Amino acid sequence: MSSLDPQVVQIVALSAAGAALLCLVLAVLALGRAARLKRLLTVVRSEDGEHVHVLAAIQAQEERLRSLGGRVGALETTLTDVRADLGDAIRHVAVMRYDAFPDMGGRLSYSVALLDDAGDGVVVTAIHGRSDTRSYAKGVKAGASDHEMSPEELQAVSYALRGARAPGQPSRA
């Protein structure tokens, strides 16, 4: 066996001790930093002001998001139903005022078209004469009627379906 030089052994031992001391200092610093990060992560305020762990706060938020997702889905279904019902509502209205007879003035006769999105509804006409006023109602399906419609009734239906304002009618405010 060969003998080791005591001076070399001493240098190696001191170098190893220095490296171990450096590693110990670095380990203590890492532990301190990890403890500080753990404190920061643990001290998160919840909605009610309590301190909770960050993972618990994230889990609570995830549960809230799932709950909101379900509620949004229910609202989308309700909105679809409302839109379907709204399509059947009378939303297209037009009024045509006119003089039914040449010797009558004041445009007291009128035809009113009341239609839904599909063009279904009714046309109501009132014809004003000198001694009486007669009124008529005609069903409308897809913008047409089984009964013959007067030009004024056809205009009222046309204006209602286009959403246009009949001539001489006040604008919507």
Question: What is the full per-residue pLDDT of the chain (173 aa) written as tens digits?
Answer: 467 888 989 999 999 999 999 999 999 999 999 988 877 776 666 667 777 777 777 888 899 898 898 899 899 999 999 888 887 888 899 999 998 888 877 888 999 999 998 899 999 999 998 888 999 999 999 989 999 999 999 999 999 998 766 665 555 54
With respect to residue 173, please indicate whether it lies within any of the assigned structural domains: no
Q: How many independent structural domains does the chain possess?
A: 3
Q: How far is CA 100 from CA 28, 127, 135, in A?
A: 102, 6, 12
**Same domain, yes or no: 145 and 158:** yes
With respect to residue 104, please indicate whether it lies within any of the assigned structural domains: yes
pTM of the full structure = 0.55
Sign of the torsion formed by the C-alpha atoms of 9, 11, 12 and 16:
positive
Instruction: Tell how strand 51-52 and strand 44-45 pair up.
Output: antiparallel
Residue type, 14: L
The predicted pLDDT at position 173 comes to 43
Boundaries of domain holding 20: 1-42
For 164, the 3-state DSSP assignment is coil
**Same domain, yes or no: 16 and 29:** yes
**Same domain, yes or no: 20 and 77:** no
Say if residues 72 and 64 touch (Cβ distance below 8 Å): no
Q: In the listed set 87, 122, 150, which residue is the last one of a domain according to the structure?
A: 87
For 126, the 3-state DSSP assignment is strand
**Same domain, yes or no: 57 and 30:** no
Say if residues 169 and 95 touch (Cβ distance below 8 Å): yes
For 124, the 3-state DSSP assignment is strand
If we measure between CA atoms, which residue out of 46, 166, 171 comes closest to residue 107?
166
**Same domain, yes or no: 158 and 98:** yes
**Same domain, yes or no: 154 and 100:** yes
